[in-house]
Amino acid sequence: MENFTFDIIGRQGMARAGVFHTPHGDIQTPIFAPVGTQATIKAVTPAQLYELDANLVLSNTYHLYLRPGDELVAAMGGLHRFMGWDRPILTDSGGFQVFSLAAIRKVDDDGVTFKSQIDGSMHRFTPEKSIAIQENLGADIIMAFDECASPYDRAYNERSMARTHAWADRCLQAKTRADQALFGIVQGGVFSDLRRESAQWMAGKDFPGIAIGGLSVGETKSETWAMLEVVIAILPENKPRYLMGVGSPEDLVNGVLRGVDIFDCVLPTRLARHHAAMTLTGRLNLSNAAYTQDPAPIDPECTCYTCLHFSRAYLRHLILAREMLAATLLSIHNIHTLLQLVRLMRSTIISGNFDAFAHEFLAAYQGNELVPEHED
């Protein structure tokens, strides 16, 4: 764990500004990580991510295991070299993807047997297998194998939480690489006593960071924030907290208000492919006829490449013509918007102005959930 220390350099209320040190560079928190499921951020090159000053990206253990295979990635020098990215990478454990395969998987106390959605072949994930795959991939932050249960089934969440804890112990025992930080994952559905129990259990283990899983999977926003508050009150102050799969602007602000440090989500690139642009006041659907002759950029205040060079009218033209460039330009803008938001939150935490900023932001923001946020 000597490679993975966390320094808190500013606070306001529960919100923190910090630095998480990794072998591939420092992660300044709060941070948003774009998701590159298949070892690529969809429609965006690594050079464009560098220009955006993205600092952390996420890739998916389950998908890379199936294609091209974690052993091939290891033979090619690891995920950083394979995808041409020399900044920090986080890989998830595959637990959420297995949860999503309800019709083609079977869970038992030892692990999960599932059918590949690519070719129908059968596979087996155990905690040890998940760690071995992630060690082959070589990300800086890796995740314990967990079970993400439906949020409202209490009996199943009790069994799932116990299984997640047992699997986390097995992951700790299986891990061999000192240059990777293994995060545990809190589960427990929408049940405060289970969330409290899981947070206490994870806090007692030697994880350099702790994630909160099983949220933003169908529960209400009020339930999300209530569960988050229960968990954050228990987690250690000196370790980063990672809220998995959350990435709309208003959710980032609400998460930071409650003490979250790390976020990831497919939302900015998925919205881009659905012709939607994120701004700090809401979303624009650029396929709308109202933008046919609009000479303005997506956001006149934005300094991203897209807004500095192109009009809403041009973007709408690309969308209607089904040009690939539309997804690239909108992805650049959407990722930039979220990265700018977390940087703004960091600076206002350090300056002591975050509470006022968050209040004004949430009062002005008009959210509109257009597409699902999970899986890209």
The residues facing 74 across adjacent strands are none
Token pair of 334, please? Answer: 């959407």
Contacts of residue 231, Cβ cutoff 8 Å, sequence gap at least 6: 186, 195, 196, 198, 199, 212
Token pair of 284, please? Answer: 């624009």
The residues facing 123 across adjacent strands are 114
Output the CA–CA distances (angstroms, integers) from residue 221 to 44, 184, 240, 326, 358, in the order listed.
30, 23, 22, 31, 17
> Would you list the DSSP string of 277-301?
EEETTEEEETTSGGGTT--S-S-TT
Task: Considering the candidates 92, 251, 299, 376, report the single residue annotated as catalytic.
Answer: 92
- Decide if 26 is catalytic: no
Say if residues 370 and 28 touch (Cβ distance below 8 Å).
Answer: no
- β-strand 105-107 against 112-115: which pairing, if any? antiparallel
Output the CA–CA distances (angstroms, integers) from residue 248 to 57, 221, 361, in the order listed.
16, 12, 13
Task: Considering the candidates 146, 261, 264, 376, report the single residue annotated as catalytic.
Answer: 264
- Decide if 264 is catalytic: yes
- Catalytic residue numbers read 92, 264
